[in-house]
Amino acid sequence: MTKSIISGGVYLPTLRIKRDEYLSALGSCSAAMREKTVMDIDEDVITMAVAAARDALADLDVSRVGVLTLASTNFPYQEKALAGTLVEALGLDKHVLTSQHGNSTIAGTEALLAALGLLEQTEQQYALVVVSDAPTSGPDVDMEHGFGAAACAFVLAKDEPGLAFEGVYAQSGETMGLRYRLPGETDIRDIGVKAFATLDYNEMVKAAVTGLVSKLNRNLADYRHIVMHQADAKTAAALAKKMGCSDVQTKEGSVFADTGDIGACSSLLGLCRVLESAASGDCLLISSYGSGSGSQALSFRLQAPLKNSGSFQARLEDKKYIGYIQYLKQKRSI
Amino acid sequence: MESVAIIGAGQTKYGDFPGLGVKELFAEAYLEMLQSVDRGLEQQRIGAAYIGSLSAGSGFQLGQLAPLLMGHVGLPHVNAARIENACASGGYALYSAACAVASGKFDLVLAAGVEKMRDVSSSKGRYWLGVSGDTEYERLAGSTFAGIYALMAARYMHEYGLKREHLSMVAVKNHRHAVSNPKAQFRKEITIEQALKGVPVAHPFNVWDCSPTTDGAAVVLLCNAKIAKEFTDKPVYLKGFGAASDYLAIHDRDSMTRLLATRKAADEAYKQAGVGPKDIDFAEVHDCFTIAEILAYGDLGFAEEGRAQYLLEEGFTQLDGKLPVNASGGLKAKGHPIGATGCGMACEVFKQLRDEAKEPSRQIKNARYALSHNVGGSGGTAAVFIYQRGDA
Amino acid sequence: MGAHISIPMYQRAVPQRYRLVGQRCGACGKINFPPKAVCKYCYQGTSFEDVQLSGRGTVYSYTVIAGGGAPPEFAAEARCKGSYPVIIVELAEGPRVIAQMVNPPEEGIAIGMPVKAVFRKIYEEEGVIRYGFKFSPA
Ligand SMILES: [Zn+2]
């Protein structure tokens, strides 16, 4: 059975804050995005998830969805799954198989892989993967400067032309990464040792990507687009360069400059962006990364244009800028 | 059906009374009512009492408010019940009392209303008010009562070219009327410029478009018209009384530029009284928000729907106009103690039709028929009454 | 203190609140929303078929609730935004419904402008997030 992504969906909150706002309010900004996405006061990862999923399902028969997987590092409940909220909001079949992934920014590709597996267990034709994230910290935490918000969704189908899944390779281990969060805490903690965290990122992602390429008997050069997990402006690009990727291969999948750090969504939103311009025959590689787990690299080949490649560009352009004071109000910091 | 007369009426001053609770307010109105019965009343002859209240004393006596109040004024054994239809609670108490007399079952029945609104935090106050709309939809859309009437105003403006100034004309008129009413909460004139520039509440409304929160009570004594002259030479006859409902949620109604509940209640009352809108000499109408008075002009037949604003431009409804509306100051300036409002209107009419408005400047002369109009919430309920002076 | 809608009561209305499920009257064919036990158009029909509404419609009327006048459970939202719009939407399928508007146009809301339903947090009570529909310019 071939499994392909046949449709994509995107949601970016309308509100944006420019890096310049941080500079004029605080004198500095620890993140090097141009601007970033900000949830409105009545938005959370679930409302974003519903919007992205509706975008992906726009022209499809929702009753044929048999699997729903969901990922975020910032679900609004510590106990109470949110899959049911999506089932109701989207009007999915009541017998849909669900799984929910969190705890680390690797959760996005985990959800995609889980959907590929669960698709074998349903008579239905489609699996829906929804990844929605908005990492959160108090405004006094430097890392917060880069935190954005976004959601993306994919419909996987059995034996239908689209973006065919080719394979996955993982590198797992006790990966401290840069961040973690304890039960009951709303703010992400930073281990504060950036160089160590970067080394960890580089080793894990490189091992997953090179392992995947070699497993599939390919070269990195065979990929039209290579999309990396982007927690800041430079680390991912620097590693890609080190691995021998060209700017052309990584440029289109970069989203950090426009959205900031969007956690589990990062490389998957990048995938949505490249899908808007990818041509039949293109090979695409994405790699995720998350503290405590490592990296997963996935390979795809575009066999036929998607039914719906999502509205990344439209969402990117639909925006309203806010100032830093309003930003703090949105986050209920004041 | 028996004919109904009003032989006594009393009310507290409307306003902010931190020293008075729901029992004290009620007692004050009740005792004033007793004073107003010209030849006195043997209290124990009262057969039944209907008492309108929304918050039942700021929520302190959610059950059985009526026996509590009756026990406080020496009528512990009277047949008493609380009536609740939000801002029309008082009007429905009056309607229920009128029906009880008309049925022939009782000769003397009390209609009353009481509200203690100024005892609670403003947040709790907004809670009480907001839950008389459709809680599941209107309230969860983040709307308030002002918001619901604002939606009607915006639609009226869109359909009929009503101007922001017309809304303010209602506020200015009613504030002017309240100046000489000793019972009114706000006895101060406002200018049109002030009325146009208040603090925003819900577009297009500012604070001058909204009635205040008010403490107050009103009590009216109804009797079988056959025995009215035992008590007074100047009874006021309740010639017609109508009440009707509509969908509670505004989005369920066909039109937002009329209140069907008012129209049906008015039809019933006019028909029973055998008079029409043109026979009415003055009216007390439910102006909880300025647009509400404009809607009432159309719904009560004083103007065609969509042309109510011209009555304001012509001064038709001013105290010296052809049809004075809200000579008392209305809910807007006399005050709006929710459950008391409907009965407070009857008190005003009773005084006016007996030429007892006290301050000569506000006495409406040569009036024969009057109308009062009380609305629950945004029009989920409405009651309309037509009165005739009885000394002629 | 806010308007009290119990968790079970809210949950029973989830199909309407989350995705605008209306009911088509078996007697007259018209669409009721929110649901009724007896059809509001023909006063006859008591059996209905669920229909998924499109969420598209136009503004029938609007207001903007000022910060100070918001109900207590919307006070935080009002504080954040200063004010927020509430509209009556005439849905493409016929019924009207009241809801908040998100992302109102800077030039102001106009009666007749097209809108579409979006899924948002409505408010929180008993620590439970109550999700539901609002409308955004279409
Ligand atoms: Zn029907």
Find the closest chain A residue to C12 by CA distance.
Answer: A88
Show Cβ contacts of residue B361 under 8 Å, excluding neighbours closer than 6 positions. B180
Which residues in B32-62 are b (16+ Cβ under 10 Å) and which e? bbeebbeeebeeeebbbbbbbbbbbbbeebe
Binary contact (A91, C19; C-beta < 8 A): yes
Average pLDDT rounded to a whole number, residues B270-294: 98
Judging contacts by C-beta atoms under 8 Å, the chain A residues touching residue C131 are 46-47, 85, 89
Task: Evaluate whether residue C66 is within a structural domain.
Answer: yes
Q: Which residues from chain C sit within 8 angstroms of residue A50, using beta carbons?
A: 119
In terms of CA atoms, which chain C residue is nearest residue B152? Answer: C61
Give the closest of B140, B151, B247 to C123, CB-based: B140
Whether C130 is in a domain gets the answer yes
Q: What φ, ψ does residue C93 adopt, rounded to 5°?
A: -85, -5
Q: Residue C95: inside a domain, yes or no?
A: yes
Picking from B251, B291, B378 by the largest number of C CB atoms within 10 A of its own CB, the best residue to mutate is B251
Q: How many angstroms separate the first and last alpha carbons of chain B?
A: 23
The domains of chain A, with CATH numbers, are: 3-160+308-330 (3.40.47.10), 163-302 (3.40.47.10)
Q: Which chain B residues touch C if contact means CB-CB below 8 Å?
A: 123-124, 126-127, 130-131, 135-144, 146-147, 150-152, 154-155, 158, 199-205, 247, 249-252, 256
Tell me the whole-structure pTM to 2 decimals: 0.94
For residue A278, what is the enclosing H or E element? none
**Pick from B138, B158, B204: CB nearest C98:** B138
Nearest Cα neighbor of A86 from A35, A55, A123, A47 is A47
CATH code of C104's domain: 2.40.50
Six-digit token pair at B56?
Answer: 């039942």
What whole-number distance in Å separates Cα of residue A165 and Cα of residue A113?
10
Residue C105, chain A, CB below 8 Å: the answer is no
- B-facing residues of C in 67-106 (CB < 8 A) are 68-72, 74-75, 77, 83-84, 86-88, 95-100
SS3 category, C29: coil
CA distance readout (Å), A83 to A98, A100, A199: 7, 7, 35
Mean of per-residue pLDDT scores for chain B: 95
Closest CA to A179 of A211, A149, A206, A201: A201
C-alpha closest to that of B180 among B72, B12, B329: B329
Residue B220: closest CA among B3, B7, B2: B7
Among C34, C74, C95, beta carbon nearest to B142: C74
pLDDT at A333: 78
Measure in Å the smallest separation between the Cα of C13 and chain A Cα atoms. 11
CA-nearest residue to C78 within chain A is A41
Report the pLDDT value the prediction gives residue B135, as an integer from 0 to 100. Answer: 84
| Each residue's pLDDT expressed in tens, for chain A with a length of 334 residues | 899 999 999 999 999 999 999 999 999 999 999 999 999 999 999 999 999 999 999 989 999 999 999 999 999 999 999 999 999 999 999 999 999 999 999 999 999 999 999 999 999 999 999 999 999 998 888 899 999 999 999 999 999 999 999 999 999 999 888 889 998 888 898 888 889 999 999 999 999 999 999 999 999 999 999 999 999 989 999 999 999 999 999 999 999 999 999 999 999 999 999 999 999 999 999 999 999 999 999 999 999 999 888 899 999 999 999 999 999 999 887 7
Strand order in the sheet with A294-302: A97-101, A65-71, A126-133, A150-158, A3-11, A163-172, A294-302, A283-290, A225-227
Predicted pLDDT of residue A16: 98
- Test C19 with A89 for CB contact under 8 angstroms: yes
B241, pLDDT greater than 90:
yes
Element of type H or E holding A45? helix A45-56
pLDDT at B133 over 70: yes
Structure tokens at C24: 């088509």
Q: Tell me whether residues C118 and A51 touch, CB distance under 8 A.
A: yes
Neighbouring subunits of A (3+ Cβ pairs under 8 A):
C
Ligand 1 geometric centre to CA of C39 (Å): 4
Q: Please give the structure tokens belonging to residue B215.
A: 């403490």
C83: in domain: yes
Answer yes or no: is the ipTM higher than 0.90.
Answer: yes
DSSP E strand boundaries for B53-96: 79-83
Query: Is residue C125 very low, low, confident or very high in pLDDT (cuts 50, 70, 90)?
Result: confident
Minimal CA separation from A77 to chain C, in Å:
9
- Residues B284-308: tens digit of each pLDDT: 999 999 999 999 999 999 999 999 9
Q: Does C135 touch chain B (CB under 8 A)?
A: no
Longest dimension (CA), chain A: 57
Two structure tokens written together for C118:
């979006």
Q: How many domains, chain C?
A: 1
**Domain of C107, in residue numbers:** 55-137
Across B124-128, average pLDDT: 69
In the reported structure, the alpha carbon of residue B354 is separated from the centroid of ligand 1 by a whole-number distance in angstroms of 51
Q: Is C92 among the domain residues? A: yes
Q: Is residue C82 domain-resident?
A: yes
Domain boundaries, chain B: 4-120+212-389
Q: What is the mean pLDDT of residues B369-387?
A: 97
Nearest in space to A129 (alpha carbons), one of A9, A300, A15: A9
Is C37 a member of any domain?
A: no
pLDDT, residue B129, reads 65
Please, which residues have CB within 8 angstroms of residue B156's CB and are 6 or more apart in sequence? B162, B256, B257, B291, B294, B295, B306
Asked if B123 and C1 come within 8 Å (Cβ–Cβ), the reply is yes
Burial bucket for residue B250 (CB in 10 Å: 0-12, 13-18, 19+): buried
Average pLDDT for residues B139-145, to the nearest whole number? 90
CA quadruple B15, B19, B21, B23: dihedral, nearest 10: -100
Q: So what's the pLDDT on residue A184?
A: 87
The answer to the question of residue C10 being in a domain is no
CB-based contact B252 C40, cutoff 8 Å: yes
Catalytic positions of B, written as ranges: 87, 336
What would you report as the CA-atom Rg of chain B, rounded to the nearest whole angstrom? 19
Whether the Cβ atoms of residue B196 and residue B293 lie closer than 8 Å to each other: no
Q: B4-120+212-389 has which fold? A: Peroxisomal Thiolase; Chain A, domain 1 (3.40.47)
Judged by CB atoms closer than 8 Å, whether chains meet at B147 and C122 is answered as no
Task: Say how many residues make up chain C.
Answer: 138
Residues of A with CB under 8 A from a CB of C: 14, 40-44, 46-47, 50-51, 54, 76, 85, 88-91, 320, 329-330, 332
Residue pairs between chains B and C whose CB atoms are closer than 8 Å = 116
Assess C57–B contact: CB distance below 8 Å, yes or no: no
C5 part of contact set with chain B, CB < 8 Å: yes
C122 touches chain B (CB under 8 A): yes
pLDDT of residue C1: 43
**Ligand 1 centre distance from Cα of residue B151 (Å):** 27
* Residues of C with Cβ-Cβ distance to B152 under 8 angstroms: 61
Type and span of the H or E element at A23: helix A19-26
Q: Comparing B204 with B125, which gets the higher pLDDT?
A: B204
- Percent of chain B at pLDDT > 90 equals 90
Nearest CB among B124, B143, B146 relative to C98 is that of B143
- Least Cα separation, residue B38 to chain C (angstroms): 46
